[in-house]
A and B are shown apart, each in its own frame.
Chain A
Amino acid sequence: MKALEINNLKKTYANGVQALNGISFSVEEGAFFALLGPNGAGKSTTIGIVSTLVNKTAGQIKIFDHDMSDDLLLAKRNIGLVPQEFNFSTFDKVIDVVCNQAGYYGVPRKVAKVRAEYYLKKLGLWEKRNHQTVALSGGLKRRLMIVRALIHEPKLLILDEPTAGVDIELRRTMWDFLQEINQKGTTVILTTHYLEEAESLCENITIIDQGNIVVNTDKKSLLRQLNTETFILDLDVSMTVAPILEKYSCTLIDEHSLAVNVKREQSLNQLFAELGQQGITITSLRNKSNRLEEMFLDLTQNSKKEQ
């Protein structure tokens, strides 16, 4: 079954800005799905329409086969939303924010309290349950948004840049948690600017740019399209000019680091052999940028050129 089906979705704002030009894509039940795109691409508009915070101009949306035009309330029962901006009452206590949200989905107070304890403990917020939300740090507020979205145990969790501004340790904790709930069966849709996040978490990726779908495929197929990767090599000797390599183009970043472009059909063994022949020893190796990031830049830049 499809968790989400979007067909020919269009959005034109009152000021004339055309945010979505008739996009279509679907998300399978149980998937961990990334919706990527540069700022202003239409990601948040898409999520806003799916969660009914933004009115669509045209198109059809189905959540677990419930058409949002005909079965709006049934469709909404299945969605949990983590919006980009903090949007809870700053005067309410943490426990009240969570239990009230459960109530809006029809979860009785007693059940809500049990679930709240589980999720607040899980995300390290239990000790803060009687604190006003205004007193929480940015990271704790992000976690509270996730607990609030999960309290009615939705089948589809939509996260709009959930780790923006979150330190790396907390980000990894959140990744582990999201993977855990996905493995338990919750479909997860994630928008993020951290492409490393999308690459490590998501199997399916849709890239949206200027209101159009640029790519809609699984991660492996997408990364196979990547023609060239740039590697940074750390050297054990200092160099003043870049070595001349027969089959690779390279530039010297500083006296101990070399950037080398490796095409898909070329191997790293061959590269090491050529460097070895010139007496250069490599002490470490890393990607210049993450692979998905390179792909993303390629695709979004091509999309701009075509326009």
Chain B
Amino acid sequence: MNQAQINLTAYLTLSRREVHRFLRIWPQTIMPSAVTMTLYFLVFGKFVGARIGLMDGVSYVDFIAPGLIMMAVITNAYTNTAFGFFIGKFQGNIEELLVAPIPSWVILLGYTTSGVLRGIVVGLVVIGVAMIFGGFSVAHFWLMLVVIFLSSLLFSLAGLFNGVFAKNFDDISIVPTFLLTPLTYLGGVFYSINLLSPFWKKLSLFNPVLYMVNAFRYGIVGISDISLWLAMTILIGMTVLLTVGNIYILDRGIGFRA
């Protein structure tokens, strides 16, 4: 058996195991986003949105739909890999992978595949909710797919980075609670940054989630507060950076090898 065959089988095994893990506990992994986003659509899209009127030329519910979908996608992609890797460290079964004859990039690929798939599955569920509330339509189908894929990938990688360094359960909830949630809420999900004062608008440009939300919004409703190319460059650049960073720490065993 050559190394390529081992890598492929190991990759399929790991990603299958991780996908099976999040599907097995779907009431904890898939349902919460569906329930939360239904409430967001109901409260902000219908009750409040009806009084807001148009935002950048589209109805408020159509305006917030891409941001809400993206919010669910990145949170789930992040949590999946952060929790998946950390629970492996916590229970010790990460050693099953560390002793196996596979390079670090196979481990990285296995975990991120599961993170991306969870992000996309939850994204599809929320798109279903959006269709109920807003008559969901897509302006640029392929762009929408690319952005949802890249965003899931980026946050899966970020979650894995977190999971590698986490020493306890608090460490994997700190980043989503104190960093990811504020960045998402302030990332133009509920408003156009053109409505902000120059200071807040400039500050918002340092928020990476803003670029994902706007690129995704462009894919769905065809409007964006920022340049699409800039958004894609930032998305791809950060993905490459986190891929290299993760391979570096996995190769050296930082955070999990004595």
Interface residues in B232-258 by Cβ distance below 8 A to A read 252-253, 257-258
Interface-centre pick from B96, B102, B252 (highest chain A CB count, 10 A): B96
Our count of residue pairs bridging A and B at CB distance below 8 angstroms stands at: 89
Residues of B within 8 A of A81 (CB): 95, 99
A106 an interface residue at 8 Å Cβ cutoff?
A: yes
Bound Cα distance A105, B5 (Å)? 10
A223 an interface residue at 8 Å Cβ cutoff?
A: no
Contact B98 A88 (CB under 8 A): no
Contact A53 B1 (CB under 8 A): no
B91 an interface residue at 8 Å Cβ cutoff?
A: yes
Interface residues in B95-122 by Cβ distance below 8 A to A read 95-103
Contact A87 B13 (CB under 8 A): no
Shortest CB-to-CB span from A42 to chain B, Å, is 13
A124 an interface residue at 8 Å Cβ cutoff?
A: no
A100 an interface residue at 8 Å Cβ cutoff?
A: yes
Given A53-B257, A55-B257, A55-B258, A104 and B95 touching (CB < 8 A)?
no
Contact B96 A87 (CB under 8 A): yes
Contact A83 B95 (CB under 8 A): yes
CB nearest neighbor in B for A88:
B93
CB nearest neighbor in A for B106:
A104
A262 an interface residue at 8 Å Cβ cutoff?
A: no
Residues of A within 8 A of B253 (CB): 55
A139 an interface residue at 8 Å Cβ cutoff?
A: no
A40 an interface residue at 8 Å Cβ cutoff?
A: no
Cβ-neighbour of B258 out of A54, A76, A105 (below 8 A): A54
Cβ-neighbour of B101 out of A55, A77, A100 (below 8 A): A77
Contact B1 A100 (CB under 8 A): no
Contact A74 B101 (CB under 8 A): yes
A8 an interface residue at 8 Å Cβ cutoff?
A: no
Given A48-B258, A86-B92, A53 and B9 touching (CB < 8 A)?
no
B35 an interface residue at 8 Å Cβ cutoff?
A: no
Residues of A within 8 A of B102 (CB): 73, 104
Bound Cα distance A108, B253 (Å)? 27
Cβ-neighbour of A76 out of B1, B13, B99, B257 (below 8 A): B99
Given A13-B258, A53-B98, A100-B96, A106 and B6 touching (CB < 8 A)?
yes
Bound Cα distance A85, B12 (Å)? 27
B202 an interface residue at 8 Å Cβ cutoff?
A: no
Write out, one digit per residue, whether chain B residues 204-222 have a CB within 8 A of any chain A CB (1) or not (0): 0000000000000000000
Cβ-neighbour of B95 out of A72, A87, A102 (below 8 A): A87
B197 an interface residue at 8 Å Cβ cutoff?
A: no
A301 an interface residue at 8 Å Cβ cutoff?
A: no
Bound Cα distance A105, B100 (Å)? 6
Write out, one digit per residue, whether chain B residues 128-158 have a CB within 8 A of any chain A CB (1) or not (0): 0000000000000000000000000000000
B201 an interface residue at 8 Å Cβ cutoff?
A: no
B167 an interface residue at 8 Å Cβ cutoff?
A: no
Q: Chain B: residues with CB nearer than 8 A to chain A? A: 1, 3, 5-7, 9-10, 12-14, 17, 21, 24, 87-88, 91-93, 95-103, 252-253, 257-258
Show 26 residue pairs from A and B whose CB-CB distance is below 8 angstroms, ordered by the A residue: A52-B98, A52-B99, A53-B99, A55-B253, A55-B257, A55-B258, A72-B101, A73-B3, A73-B102, A73-B103, A76-B99, A77-B101, A81-B95, A88-B91, A91-B21, A91-B24, A96-B17, A99-B13, A100-B13, A102-B13, A103-B9, A104-B13, A105-B6, A105-B100, A106-B10, A106-B101
Q: Chain A: residues with CB nearer than 8 A to chain B? A: 13, 48, 51-55, 72-74, 76-77, 79, 81, 83, 85-92, 96, 99-109, 148
Q: Return the 4 tightest CB-CB contacts between A and B, nearest first.
A: A103-B13, A106-B6, A87-B92, A104-B100
A54-B257, A91-B24 given; 10 more Cβ-contact pairs under 8 Å: A54-B258, A85-B92, A87-B93, A89-B87, A90-B91, A100-B17, A101-B96, A103-B14, A104-B10, A106-B10
